[in-house]
Structure 1
Amino acid sequence: MTIDIRPDDLTSPEMAELIAVHAQTMLASSPPESCHFLPIDGLRQPSVSVWSMWEDGALIGCGALKELGNGGGEIKSMHTRAHLRGRGLGRLMLDHILSVAKARGYTDLWLETGSMDAFIPARRLYESYGFSYSGPFGEYAEDPNSVFMHLHF
């Protein structure tokens, strides 16, 4: 089986459905006022690059990178279909995003994720890549339901 990660223009019904599932998953785990996922229109901004992950013709995951300026980017919309978690697919997408960030000359990557137990696997993944916990960045504010992480290259 071959995993294919490719740029996505967010026009396919499959990708719209996956982004909707991502939103539902976030809203099921966090209070709405603490959910900072980008809806599909937010992902269609020129400052955001989106990739879809495919296996044998099936959409299995996605990830995005938002340009923050000043050599920085924000990881957004990392999602793997629930029944496929634990196979290292998130690691593959994160590897891809990191390689793109480095190729673009970024020196810093940031992310926001949840503080609840449902987000422990995500936080462990980012920790394993050297992300450290930080305070809010950009337009984020301190929130007990959010965790902010940073990686400097």
Structure 2
Amino acid sequence: MSEGNLNIVLDDLTGSEIAAFLQAHIDDMRATSPPESKHALDLNGLRQPEITFWSVYCDDVLVGCGALKQLSETHGEIKSMRTGADARGRGVGGAVLQHIIEEARKRGYTRLSLETGSMEFFKPAHRLYRRFGFEPCAPFAGYKEDPNSLFLMLSL
């Protein structure tokens, strides 16, 4: 799978396929992170005016997703980055992350931040974010210091 095969589309979060895909995301986070350290949003949490959500398809199969939340006029947060288990390691995460970074730049953001888990399960995500230039930062936007969380930011 290469980025050329991927189709990244704006999603209004009304379809059953994305609902099931996001439920798998929530289930993974519940299995991996203690409840007080789980910051993944469910469908209702993602259906907010300050959040833009994209689904990623390869040959009409849902393989990933990601969202951009506006925190301020110059600061965005990446939410709900997920690659389906069958598509991991095949460029989906990089494609959606690049898409979100480009959208943040178009909006005039000067900073893009994210929170992810600190456990072994999240190591592939850590490598992806670092490859794109994200660096560790302090908690932001109401998050608190947490040994189960890693906070990263990218200056745009």
The code of the aligned residue for 1:36 comes to: H
SS in 2 for 1:69: coil
Name the counterpart of 1:88.
Answer: 91
Name the counterpart of 1:60.
Answer: 63
Deviation at 1:70, TM superposition (A): 3.6
Deviation at 1:83, TM superposition (A): 1.6
- Please state if 1:98 is matched with 2:136: no
Structure 2: distance between partners of 1:117 and 1:19: 21
RMSD across aligned C-alpha pairs, in angstroms?
A: 0.9
- Please state if 1:78 is matched with 2:85: no
Relative to the length of structure 2, the TM-score reads 0.96
Question: Which aligned pairs between 1:1-153 and structure 2 lie closer than 5 A?
Answer: 2-153=5-156
- Stretches of structure 1 that go unaligned for 5 or more consecutive residues are none
Deviation at 1:99, TM superposition (A): 0.6
Structure 1: distance between partners of 2:40 and 2:88: 19
- Among all aligned residue pairs of Structure 1 and Structure 2, give the percentage whose two residues are the same amino acid: 52
Structure 1: distance between partners of 2:73 and 2:64: 29
Deviation at 1:18, TM superposition (A): 0.6
SS in 2 for 1:21: helix
Structure 2: distance between partners of 1:115 and 1:135: 14
The code of the aligned residue for 2:135 comes to: S
Structure 2: distance between partners of 1:37 and 1:68: 16
Structure 2: distance between partners of 1:58 and 1:91: 17
* Off by >2 Å, runs of 4+ in structure 1: none
